[in-house]
Chains A and B, each alone.
Chain A
Amino acid sequence: MTIIRRKRRIAAVVAGAVLATSLAACGDDEKTSSGGGLTGPAITLAVNPWTGSAVNAWVASVVIEANIGAPVEIIELDENSTWVGLDDGSIDAVLEVWPSGHAADYETYITDKGSVVDLGLLGPAAKIGWYVPKFVVDAHPELATWEGFMNPELAALFSTAESGDLGQFTMGDPSYVSYDEEIIENLGLPLKYVVAGTETALLAAIDQSIADQKPILLQFWQPHWKQLEVDLVEVQLPAITPECEASLASQDGAYVCDYPVDQLYKAANAGFQAKNAAAFAALSKMQLTTEQQSEIAGFVDRDGLTPEAAAKKWVDANPQVWQAWLA
């Protein structure tokens, strides 16, 4: 039947290809994967989809390959998969975790299961908050603090078709931590909480707002590459009180304060130390200041270098920083 003849044709084509590949393999100059004198199993570092995460991992990669001699593999994936990878060891370490978004993961994998270990703080602090474009505060200085939003007329500046008469508060990706709905309700602000769904949507909304000079109020954070591109101003929320800290711990829905500062930390698979003690020690000690991290991230976001090139450039220029990690 035709179907069989067709299979033969394909089989012949594939056979020809395999034959040709093996014939030509003699004249091959393929690089071996263990080039450059790197030995041992590859250390896998996770990179999550933001610049800071990428430059940390590439700096670590450059330092480890040059000084410890182990190959490093960078894996780009989303945050939730990262924790599962850390759990089963397919990922050895992640160098930037935002604690606010991963309290449940910390409890599951580090506290309860013990399959992941806390590698200590990375150094930089991050901060989530409420932001408006600068032109909004220029026109209405009272909107620099939350009290300004109590005024329904000012809040209505932020209204959209979706929010009707209320002002719209825009939240991005639902995987990020958000107390915004609680804060709006508990402060009694005339705002409607709208989930954009993704960070991409949030960024597009910022662009739209700037282009139209139409006010937008959103949850955003520092550091973020978009902060270099547009002028955003953080809206002052009520200072953190002991009651708020208690509410945060008990998740009772009564939170009315500003976001706590996120001390970024590192985490590793529990078996990483046994796999490569030297790399484990180096990554435990690895620390960057906020300024250092933004400098490297700037090479990428501002100057257009790849994260790898940016890391090399910084590592070459700052031996005293990373040599301390190896001591």
Chain B
Amino acid sequence: MAVSVETLPTHESDAVVRARRAQRTVGFGVFAALVLAATLVSREVPEWMDSGIQRWAQDRYQWSILNRQTSWVFTSFFTPIADFLTWAVENVESLLLALRWPGVVGIVFAIGWRIGGLSAGATGAAAMFGMGLIADWDHAMRTLAIMSVAVVIALVLGIPLGILTARSDRAESVVRVLLDTAQVMPIFVYLSPLVIFFGVQIPPAVMATVIYALPPAVRLTNLGLRQVPVVANEVGHSFGTTSWQQLLKVQLPLARRTILLGLNQVIMMAFAIVVLASLLGTGDLGRDVLAAVQKQQVGLAFSSGLGIVLMAVALDRISTGVRSTSTPQWARRLPRFSRGTARWTALGVVVATVVAGRLFSLSSFPSSWSVDVAGPIDSAVDWVESNVRRDVPIIGGTQAINDFLITEVLNPLQGFLQWLPWLVVVVAFAFVGWLSKGWKLAAAVAVCLALIATMGSDNDTVLWDHAMDTLSQVLVAIMLSVLIALPLGIWAGRNDTVQRVLRPFLDIAQVLPQFVYLIPVLFLFSIGRAAGVVACVIYAVPPCIRLTALGMREVPFAPREAAISFGATRRQEMRQVQLPLARKAILLGINQTMMMVLATVIIASLIGAGGLGLLAYRASAKPNIDFGLGTAGGLSIVLLAIVLDRLTQAWGANPDTERGR
């Protein structure tokens, strides 16, 4: 067990306190000695550390290009999979088109109703219908078909993996690193290999979606199974169940809610990648967004992007699987159905809508109904662009913020990190690891950072320097996100109105394709790192607000009540009772923010942020020259992410539960 140097619980004896203090003094001594040694040993990353991974990856890529028609790996493995994926997506798509739009809306309603109640069904159907009003229905059905196939595959792979990791700690530690990689590895690194493996258009797009959306399926299955109470397992055992029976009859049913949450998260992740997957030629809603962005049609990009959001909302409502706690007034007044009647009514709705759709041959969503959202959005964006850039009282406008961020914040921080001898950075991070959780974490952190030093160089610049560039941007983005999200989250956690007002914005910011807001962000700021940081912040703030608010709300009422009855003011009660009790959830929120920022580094590189993100992007920009370089850049991002993730998780971990594991 690692030596825990957590804040000391008050009941520990003086002897323990003194021992801890001594240990810490020794630790500081060792750290200082290591820093000195590191400075003397090597300031720059030495050349011999280059592992040659770039060359290696590039050679594998080139080999794949030359052998993709002949090697058995392709002819008897990848090609059949690709053919199956195309077949599956095409069939789902033609089914969706054959259902006609009323049928699809009817099915969304029926499933939503039966699973989440009338209001869930109605919201889902309304969202789907609204999508038809603002986006291209046929393209949306292509997107839906790709999503469905990818989600099913992610579940088929993810749930067994989750079961495996729940049953074996060793499997968990291996799979966890793979999942972290899948979540943070920029899609641009694996797009080109996927195209070589699976051809163009639909198959690689499905596979990219599966890779990106798989992690929550595994993680939440694992979590759900591990949360099954010990008592339930014991009872099963005492009745003599086999391991399989135990899994199927006790654990999986008890973990149902969490696994369903996993399904919901898988769907949301899949929607987050629609636009990037469309680079491969999917001809779907994602492509509409991309094409509009490429032609600078912000409004059009927004309306297709909102179409994606609405579809995500529809699927979210019908996959949440939890009856919404507050039924709205109008729904309560509706007649209540018995279970049998309800089933037949739902079936009736579906049959009626499908038959109606086909009889009236409503082949596509009527174009005359389409609502022009592009125009108003364009004028709104124009207004913002011409009024927020300069001459704003006090803050001066976005251009001033842009210049301030670059010259006063990012330049000094980046300069400092790059000036530090690289070993000092490694030692410093390892020391933070040691302080947080002991020598094991320190070693893991040191190894991860040292691996970045083995990634080689790009022309004359070692990847380490790019990593420090990216690290400086990531740190600034995380700091800004937390500064924005914590107060809002705390406020939303204590005030229902704020929560209700914020929620739709959070939903949209999380699912709206990032491409959509890149143009306004670019115009408000300028090409460069500040715009990149802002894009990261927009994407990373919502989960942090959400988790902070959730943490505040989950604090039991009793201790808060007690504090107030002892005469604490609202402010005191919040600062001294609610906030400390919500600490774990808030730290989880910060951890998520960090991962989101690192996942957005790649998007930031599309608007001039440079660093590791740009290297990773080059893997798909010029694959037959830069694939190796891009792979090294992508791996470095993953390593940075693992370091930051493990450190923040150690802060969030409660020493008591750690010991319990």
Contact = CB atoms under 8 A, between A and B. Distances in A.
Interface of A: 1-3, 6, 9-10, 12-14, 16-21, 23-25, 27-30, 49, 75-78, 80-82, 84-85, 87-88, 90-91, 104-105, 108-109, 112-113, 115, 160-162, 164, 170, 173-175, 194-201, 203-205, 207-208, 211, 225
B130 interface: no
Contact of B68 (A21, A78, A87): A87
Given A77-B201, A161-B402, A113 B407 contact: no
Contact of A16 (B196, B280, B350, B403): B350
Interface string B606-621: 1111100010011011
Contacts of B123: none
B279 A81 contact: yes
B350 to A, nearest CB: 4
A9 B606 contact: no
Contacts of A113: 65-66
A178 B441 CA distance: 44
B406 A162 contact: yes
Interface stretch (B107-115, B484-492, B557-565): B107-115
Given A3-B253, A196-B607, A75 B69 contact: no
Contacts of A49: 290-291, 294
Given A162-B526, A197-B605, A208-B526, A17 B350 contact: yes
- Interchain residue pairs A-B with the least CB separation, the first 4: A77-B281, A175-B621, A24-B358, A20-B354
Contact of B296 (A29, A82, A197, A203): A203
A104 B625 contact: yes
A29 B620 CA distance: 44
A10 B354 CA distance: 16
Contacts of B115: 6, 9-10
A223 B44 CA distance: 45
A205 B354 contact: no
B608 A197 contact: yes
Nearest to A225: B295
B65 A81 contact: no
Nearest to B252: A3
Contacts of A108: 62, 65-66, 624
Contacts of A195: 608, 610, 614
Given A108-B65, A162-B608, A84 B199 contact: yes
B293 interface: yes
A87 B67 CA distance: 11
Interface in B184-201: 192, 195-196, 199-201
A19 B358 CA distance: 12
B527 A115 contact: no
Contacts of B621: 80, 173-175
B523 interface: yes
A292 to B, nearest CB: 22
B219 interface: no
Given A49-B291, A77-B200, A162-B406, A104 B624 contact: yes
Contact of A80 (B95, B350, B623): B623
Contacts of A105: 624
A90 B173 CA distance: 40
B192 A76 contact: no
Interface in B523-551: 523, 526-530
SS class of chain A's interface: helix, strand, loop or mixed? helix
Given A197-B617, A201-B522, A174 B622 contact: yes
B283 A76 contact: yes
Contacts of B346: 9, 12-13
Contacts of B624: 104-105, 108
Nearest to B610: A195
B479 interface: no
A111 B201 CA distance: 25
Contacts of A75: 200-201, 281, 283
Contact of B200 (A13, A27, A91): A91
B87 to A, nearest CB: 14
B280 A81 contact: yes
Contacts of A14: 107
11 contacts: A17-B99, A27-B358, A30-B363, A88-B68, A161-B407, A174-B621, A194-B527, A195-B614, A196-B608, A197-B609, A198-B607
B595 to A, nearest CB: 22
Given A76-B287, A161-B530, A24 B296 contact: no
A81 B352 CA distance: 43
A280 to B, nearest CB: 20
B174 interface: no
Contact of B607 (A13, A28, A201): A201
B43 interface: no
A21 to B, nearest CB: 5
Contacts of A175: 618, 620-622
A24, A91, A161, A205, most chain B CB atoms within 10 A: A161
B588 to A, nearest CB: 28
Contacts of B607: 196-198, 201
B519 interface: yes
B69 A80 contact: no
B377 interface: no
Nearest to B408: A161
Contacts of B99: 17, 21
Contacts of B252: 3
A170 B610 CA distance: 12
B354 A21 contact: yes
Contacts of B253: 1-3
Contacts of B526: 160-162, 205, 208
A176 B95 CA distance: 41
Contact of B606 (A88, A197, A225): A197
A112 B609 CA distance: 36
Contacts of A1: 253
Nearest to A78: B279
Nearest to A168: B527
A199 B294 contact: yes
B280 A78 contact: yes
Interface string B353-366: 01101110101000
A82 B618 CA distance: 17
A80 B608 contact: no
A89 to B, nearest CB: 9
A87 B358 contact: no
A229 to B, nearest CB: 9
Given A21-B358, A78-B279, 19 more contacts: A17-B351, A17-B354, A18-B95, A20-B350, A24-B357, A24-B359, A49-B290, A75-B200, A77-B280, A77-B281, A80-B620, A85-B199, A104-B625, A113-B66, A160-B526, A161-B406, A162-B406, A195-B614, A196-B608
B98 A21 contact: yes
B170 interface: no
Interface string B60-104: 001001101100000000000000000000000001001100010
Interface in B292-328: 293-296, 321
Given A161-B403, A170-B527, A196-B608, A205 B522 contact: yes
Residue among B114, B358, B403 facing the most chain A CB atoms (10 A cut-off): B358
A164 B410 CA distance: 13
A9 B287 contact: no
Contacts of B618: 174-175
B483 interface: no
B361 A13 contact: no
A202 B107 CA distance: 44
B414 to A, nearest CB: 12
Contacts of B363: 30
